[in-house]
Structure 1
Amino acid sequence: MRKLFFVVLTLSITCFFSCSDGDIIEVKLDFGNDFSNCQGVTGLVFYKTKNDPSESVSVIINSFNLDDVFEVGDDKTFSTTKSGTFNYRSYSNTSISGGNLFCNDIPSSEVNIISDYSSNCKANINTILIEDDNDEVPLALEDVNGDGNLENDDTDGDGLWNYIDIDDDGDNILTIDEDLNDDGDPTNDDTDNDGIPNYLDDDDDGDGVKTRDEESDSQDQNPTNDITNSDVGPDYLNKDVLTSVAATAYRAHTIYQTYVVTLTVTGISIDILLQDEYDFGELSGGTSDTRTVTPEFN
């Protein structure tokens, strides 16, 4: 009986100490898809945090900054692999903030770290630039010839493909403003009933005078404010007004840009982690921009 008790007691003690040894605890990284960034003391930091339990993962890339990530080529993509340092931490805090952990020269004294593991790694960064005109016309309809290629459709010949052209027909009326019935769909408005929606029709009222030339009162590349008969509306929608003043310029065009940045980390070597490769996800925040183009008039 004593021997049996001794064996049971020994096994219990062995299990207790082994299970309490943090070196053999295995961790599976379970964070959301989005990650954030900041410019740290030595370089660019990508990071994620979570609560319950409070944990963080981060990648530091020295001598690198976020502007580098947005340097896309003519094909609107950027791809690079950088050496970095991967870090996993757990905390006793019930909630944590990434800004306090990674973006300050001196971390907050209120942060209590339980475990802290680091490893060299490779950071595989890929960026895709998506541009759009935000004119409420679905991309499928911007492909006017229906060949599946958005970059050979330029209705007005101004050098801007329809999907990045805020004025598809070049009549100096913004496509989004050609939605006369205000239903959020510019494709179903056809003032002169010629089968061509206004946003693709350079003579909206069918009076033989191009819409962009119906600026009798002011030459400001905006025919919407030239009104002879207020009961009818702007001259470009009044087929009885035939006054023509030749336009000389297009409006400035704003093109909206979104950078989709994804990160995969490889070569992680941390004993407690169940993986040596990690899909870090997609960068959130600070990935939108605009550019302005004034097409050459034709």
Structure 2
Amino acid sequence: MTESFDAVEVIMAKRDGHRLTDPQIDWVVDAYTRGVVADEQMAALAMAILLNGMDRPEIARWTAAMIASGERMDFSGLSRPTADKHSTGGVGDKITLPLAPLVAACGVAVPQLSGRGLGHTGGTLDKLESIPGWRADLTNAEILAQLDDVGAVICAAGPGLAPADKKLYALRDVTGTVEAIPLIASSIMSKKIAEGTGSLVLDVKVGSGAFMKEIDQARELAATMVALGQDAGVATVALLTDMSTPLGMTAGNAIEVTESVEVLAGGGPGDVVELTLALAREMLAAAGRPDVDPADALADGRAMDVWRRMVRAQGGDPDAPLARPRETHEVRAAA
């Protein structure tokens, strides 16, 4: 097969500050997915993008090329609207765990396709895998069936969903290009758009424990992702939330699950509860249910019921004891 472009020429174009053409972007994403563009070449291009950036049309085309590398899901047959949430990650960010069952308990289906740890941040799937028996990998048919029955699913994106992103996601983690805003935005939004959710709430972290250290960076990332979502017909909103201190009182897979269950039981740290409810209200409003108060579903146990059903549906035991850290260190705030 004769290739349309040469990888080195594409790398040099971005290295020298030029914008990439639509055909160049389409080719390089497809060729990387096929293995024609090597990891070291894509690493060089990712670094050039980090240093020289992309304009909005470039980012939109890169995102579209990532989506086109795989399949698209369709939740239009469900009896309830869908809403998803994505966080850019931080220390102790366990919000997805109580949030997905809470929103489902309020009548909105939550197809939460989550990831693993990236950089210094913990991954939602890594945390849930501390529950004995729980499995992250589901077929599309299993995802649809669980959404229809339980109302919420937290799982890994299937191999057919934006496979280009799966390769690039892992590469960015080991090449110092995690913070590239065009690559963050296209990575998140390619999966969310291909996933087929009807609405999306973005939790963009800013502060010392986030990838975005400065508020202007966070605003740029949020605006870029909202524009990508809206252009694709997905109702998208973003919140900028503080990550200058860890969320909650724990950082670690199993102990963050335990803390999340405490929130679902009506307790838990105040900051985790506050952010969970804020994001739930945004998701419900985006899905057309602004009249529902998610605090009621926490108080009356409906959210906990959905959590237990969700865990069981994916092979986990919600009553199983979770691992405890062998060593703990308590850090107290100054009086």
The TM-score normalised by the length of structure 1 is 0.22
Q: Which has the higher contact order (CA 8 A, sep 6+)?
A: 2
**1 or 2, which has the higher strand percentage?**
1
Q: For the pair shown, which has the larger CA radius of gyration, 1 or 2?
A: 1
